Structure 1
Amino acid sequence: MADILKVGIPKGSLEEPTLALFAKSGWKISMRHRNYFPEVNDDELTVRLCRPQEVPHYVGDGVLDVGLTGKDWILESQKDVHVVSDLVYSKSSNRPARWVLAVAGDSPFHKPQDLAGKRVATEIMGLTQRYFEKLGIPVKVEYSWGATEAKVVEGLADAIVEVTETGTTIKAHGLRIIDEVLLTNTQLIASKAAWADPWKRAKIEQINLLLQGALKAESLVGLKMNVPSSNLDAVLALVPALNSPTIAHLQDSRWISLEIVVSTSIVRDLLPKLVQAGAEGIIEYPLNKVLA
C-alpha cells in the first residue's frame, strides 16, 4: 500500500483562504457539494474538512497526520502536537488575530481585576479560565454558543472574551476592550507519530516549504526594466531587492537589463522614481512562490 498523508483543512472562515493558499502552492483541492472529503491532485494526500476546533484533537489523537488550525484552538485543546510552523493568514488579512477581554462601553469595569466575581462569556473556556487564574481573579466563565458580543448588551454576561482582527466589530456592538488575552494565527501542526515517520515528515516539510513560499510571495512583486549603463548606479540606489538585483548586459552595450523582487507596499512610490532615474520598459509581474 502506498504511503498516504492525512491532511485536515479548517472549515468555516479559514476554508476559502486555505484552499487558495494550497492552490497557489501547487495542490488543487476540489470541494464536493455537501461532502467533507475533497479531492486533491496528489495521490500521496487525502484531505478531510474539519472545524478548526476539532483539528488539534484529530491530529493529537493520530486520526489526522497534519492539519491547519489556529494557535488558539491548539492551546485550548491542550493536545500534544508538533507545531511545524506559523502560517499567518486569515479570511480578510495576513495578520494575527487577537482574543480580547471586552466590556460594555459604559460599564464601570476598566481592568481585569474589576471583574472579580463576575460572569464572562466566551467560546474558549479553557484559555479564558487559565487567563483569569494566572491573574488570580475569580470569575465565572460560561460557554457562548454564538453572538458572543451580544451577551454583554443583553445583560447575560458582564464581559466577553472574543476574537477580533481590527476591533471594529467589538466597537460596533458598543463594547470596550480592556485587555488582550491571546495573539493567535494559523499554524501547521503534525501528530508526533507522523513527524517521527521519515516519509511523512518529508512530505509535511514539502507542504510547509511551498505554503510558506506562497505566503511570502503575496507581499512581493517582480520588476524587470531596461536601464542605460550610464544610469545604473542611480537606479540601483533606489531598488531594495530580496537579495541582489539580477543584471544582464544587452546586445546594445549602452543598456542593461535589471530584474528585482520588491515589496508591494513600495511599488507605487518606486516606479515614478525609476522612470525619473532613466529606467525604461518597466514590467511589474506577480509572484506565485518565493522560496528563500
Structure 2
Amino acid sequence: MSVVEVVSVSKWFGSLKVLDGVSMRVGWGEKVILVGPNGAGKTTLIRIVIGSLKPDEGYVRVLAERDSIGYGPQIPVFYPFHRVFDVIYYSLRLAGFDAAESRRRAKEWISVLGLNPNAYGIHLSGGERKLVALAIALARDPDLLILDEPTEMLDVSRRKLVRDVISRFRGSTLIVTHDLEEVKLGDRLYFLNRGRVLFEGTPAEFALRFGGEGLLVETWTAAGFKSFAVKSLGEALEALRALSGDEVVEIRVRKPIPEDLSNLMGG
C-alpha cells in the first residue's frame, strides 16, 4: 500500500498547463525522488500533494495523518525577529508536543544541523533557512517527509550533511530536486519535464537510460513488463535466467539512449 498516491493529476494556471496527467506513488518506508529541470512542474505537484493547491483533474490520496507529515518548502519563510530556537520550538508546540519535549527536540536538531539557536530570522542566509525548515520537518519525527530542493543554496559540506541526515531517515520520503546528486538517495525516482512523467524506475535504471554506461534489459512476460539495469551482457543473461519460470513474450537488450543528461535537465 502507498502512503502517497497521485493519479492522473493535471493543473492549469490560466491557459498554461503545468501538469499533464501525472501519476506517482510513494510506498511506506520508501524514498522517492522527483527530479527534473526548473519549471518542470515539480513544486506545483508537491503543493497539490500537501493540499495547498487543488488539481483540476485527477486526485491525490495521502494516508499519513497531517500531524505526521514533515514538509520543507523550497523557499522557507519565518518571522524575521524570532530566534531559530523559538521558530523550531513553537512549531513543535503547535504540533502538539509538550514544552519539555519541544525544547529537547529543538535543541537536538539545532545541534545535528549545526544551527545557531540565537540567530534571528532576518539574519539567516537562504541556506540557513533551508536548514531551519529541515529541522522543523524532522523534529516532529514524521511518518512522511516531503522536501522541496533540500540542498539548494547550501555549501558543499552542508549539502553532504543534509544528504546524510535524509539517508538515515527511516520514514517515507519524497524529495523534489533538479540536482542529480540527490538521485542517489532514492529507492525509486520519477523524471518530470514540461508537466509530464517521462521516466519511472530505479536510480540505476535512470543513470543507464540517460547517458550512463551499461545495458538496459526490458522484458514483456505474461505477468507484465519488467526492466533491469545491468553493467554487462553477462549480468543481462543472469537477469533473464531469473525469468525462466515466466512466459517471456518479448526481450530487448539495448544501450542507454545516447543523450546528454545535462542538456535534458536544462529543459
For CA contacts below 8 A with separation 6 or more, give which structure has more relative contact order. Answer: 2
What is the TM-score when the length of structure 2 is the normalising length? 0.28
Name the larger-Rg structure.
Answer: 1
